[in-house]
Amino acid sequence: MSLGPNNHKPSTVSVFKITQNQLNTLKAKSSEHGNKTNYSTYTILAAYIWRCATKARGLSYDQPTKLYMPTNGRPRLHPPLPSRYVGNAMFTASLIALSENLQSEPFVNTLERVHGTLRRMDNEYLRSALDYLETLPDITAARRAPDTFQCPNLNIINWIRLSIHDADFGWGRPIYMGPANIVHEGKIYLLPSPTDDGSLSLIRGLGLCWGSDVPQAHVYECSPHSSYPMENSSVFSLVGKKAV
C-alpha cells in the first residue's frame, strides 16, 4: 500500500513504557462478550497499535493500510531446523485492511484479523514461500524498499521474548537495549522490561502522512470516557505527532 513517491518526510523516534496494569486491562478487553480465544501479548498489542496509528495518521476511510509482522519460522517449520543453524529464519506475515474498518469495528474484530494471519504462518505456508523464492532468477527482487513500511503501512517487530537483558559484560545487568536507530518511518519495536516488572517498552519511528494535520485528539483509540487502558497515557500520545 502506498500514498505515492517517497518524499522523505521527517519522523521522530521515541521510547514509551507500557505498564503491566495497562497490559492486563487491554487483555481483559480482548475477552469481552464471551470471547474465549487466548491471544498472545504481541497479537493484542499489534492490533491495538495498528488501530491507534491509523487514527493518529488521519487516514481517509477508503485508504488501505498494510500491517507487517516479522515471524520466527523456527518453531513453525517441520522437520525443525537443526540446532547448529544460526540464521534467523524470519518470515513476514502481512494483512491489509481499510482505514474505515480499523477505526469503526470492535477491537476483537481487529484482534481476529491479526490472530488469523499469524495462525496461517504454518509449515505449509512457509514452505510455499521458500518454493517461491527458489523460482526467482534474482532473489534481490524480493527485497523490500525503504518506503515499504511508511505511512499508511506499519511494521511491528516483536522482541518481547528475547533475553536481551541477560547479557553481562562485566558491568552488571544492562539497563537498556534497543535498536541503535530507526532509519525508516513506520517501524515499531516491542521490548521486554530490563527490571522484569511485567512492563514492556515501545520504540517507534513515525511521522505524519503527507498532507495530514492530525489533531492530538485523534491519537487515542477511544473517547475520553471509554475504558481502554492507554487512552490517557503517554504510550501512544506521540504515535502520529509531527517531528519538530
Please give the Cα distance from 120 to 15 (Å, whole number).
31
Domain membership flag for residue 147: yes
Task: Give the model confidence (pLDDT) of 185-215 as tens digits.
Answer: 889 999 999 888 999 999 987 665 533 333 3
Please report how many Cα atoms fall inside a 13 Å half-sphere around the Cα of residue 74, on the Cβ side: 8
Residue 212 lies in a domain: yes
Domain range for 124 is 12-166+177-219
CA atoms of 198 and 168, how far apart (whole Å)? 21
**Rounded Cα gap, residues 46 and 158, in angstroms:** 9
Domains in the chain: how many in total? 1
232 domain residue, yes or no: no
What distance in Å separates the CA atoms of residue 215 and residue 231, rounded to the nearest whole number? 15
Residue 242 forms part of a structural domain: no
Give the global pTM.
0.81
- Any domain includes 236: no
In a domain, residue 149? The reply is yes
Q: In whole angstroms, give the CA distance from residue 212 to residue 195.
A: 38
Q: In a structure prediction context, what are the per-residue pLDDT tens digits for the chain, which is 244 residues long?
A: 544 444 455 567 788 899 999 999 999 999 888 888 999 999 999 999 999 999 988 899 999 999 999 999 988 999 988 878 888 899 999 999 999 999 999 999 999 999 999 999 999 999 999 999 999 999 888 888 878 888 999 999 999 988 888 888 888 888 888 887 777 788 999 999 988 899 999 998 766 553 333 333 333 443 333 444 444 343 444 344 333 2
In sign, the C-alpha dihedral spanning 127, 130, 134, 137 is: positive
Yes or no: say if 55 and 222 are a contact pair by the CB < 8 Å rule. Answer: no
Say if 172 falls within a structural domain: no
- Note whether residue 231 is domain-resident: no
The CATH number given to whatever domain includes residue 77 is 3.30.559.10
Integer Rg of the chain from CA: 18
